[in-house]
């Protein structure tokens, strides 16, 4: 069940913890880890694309602690409305999936197809946030060929649609 949000709880009265208005609790084989805040965290500032992307865990998103996580990893938001964090150094946190950015590609299907073919990418995970794309249909239309593996992040960067070619870290 790692990386799966299974429950949202509201604790009130005697069960409420002082100073904890929001919490994201991760339960993994390694144990429990918690990110807390007194209230919904204000988002971190939007900034330039860094060398790394952090996709916050669903528990962090639902607890509205994305800004808190971004500050803890010295990161910034890609867009004020999208839950992606970017950093210049690899973020050390259990509260999200880390990706190393290979490059930014044009958000144009023909040019994406050409770029992926040039790079020999035959296996592609597609993640999307903030754009209207069906990843399964897009993957078929891209006609992937090659032995390389990558992840394509389709999202917005400071308000404009973009495609980021990334690799999972760890």
- Tokens found for residue 53: 């992307």
pLDDT, position 7: 66
| Shared domain check, 63 and 84 | yes
| Shared domain check, 140 and 120 | yes
| Shared domain check, 106 and 94 | no
- Tokens found for residue 94: 């259990």
**6 belongs to a structural domain:** no
**92 belongs to a structural domain:** yes
> Where in the sequence is the domain holding 110, given as residue range(s)?
102-168
**7 belongs to a structural domain:** no
| Shared domain check, 118 and 78 | no
pLDDT tens across 25-70, in order?
888 888 888 888 888 888 899 999 999 999 999 999 999 999 999 9
Specify the number of domains making up the chain: 2
pLDDT, position 131: 92
Q: What's the rounded mean pLDDT across residues 59-86?
A: 94
**140: Cβ contacts below 8 Å, ≥ 6 apart:** none
Percent of the chain with pLDDT over 90: 70
pLDDT, position 4: 65
| Shared domain check, 117 and 73 | no
- Tokens found for residue 85: 């964090």
pLDDT at 168 over 90: yes
Percent of the chain with pLDDT over 70: 95
131-157 burial code (b ≥16 CB/10 A, e <16): eeeeeeebeeebebeeeeebbbbbbbb
């Amino acid at each position: 069940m790692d990386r799966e949000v299974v429950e949202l709880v509201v604790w009130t009265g005697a069960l409420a913890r002082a100073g904890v208005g929001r919490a994201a609790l991760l339960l993994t084989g390694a144990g429990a880890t918690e990110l807390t805040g007194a209230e919904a965290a204000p988002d971190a500032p939007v900034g330039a694309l860094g060398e790394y992307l952090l996709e916050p865990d669903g528990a962090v998103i639902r607890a509205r602690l994305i800004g808190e996580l971004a500050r803890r990893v010295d990161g910034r938001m890609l867009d004020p409305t999208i839950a992606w964090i970017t950093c210049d150094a690899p973020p050390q946190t259990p509260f999200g999936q880390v990706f190393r950015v290979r490059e930014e590609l044009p958000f144009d299907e023909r040019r994406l197809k050409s770029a992926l073919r040039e790079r020999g990418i035959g296996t592609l995970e597609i993640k999307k946030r903030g754009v209207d794309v069906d990843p399964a249909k897009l993957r078929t239309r891209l006609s992937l060929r090659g032995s390389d593996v990558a992840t394509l992040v389709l999202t917005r960067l400071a308000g404009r649609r973009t495609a980021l070619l990334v690799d999972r870290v760890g």
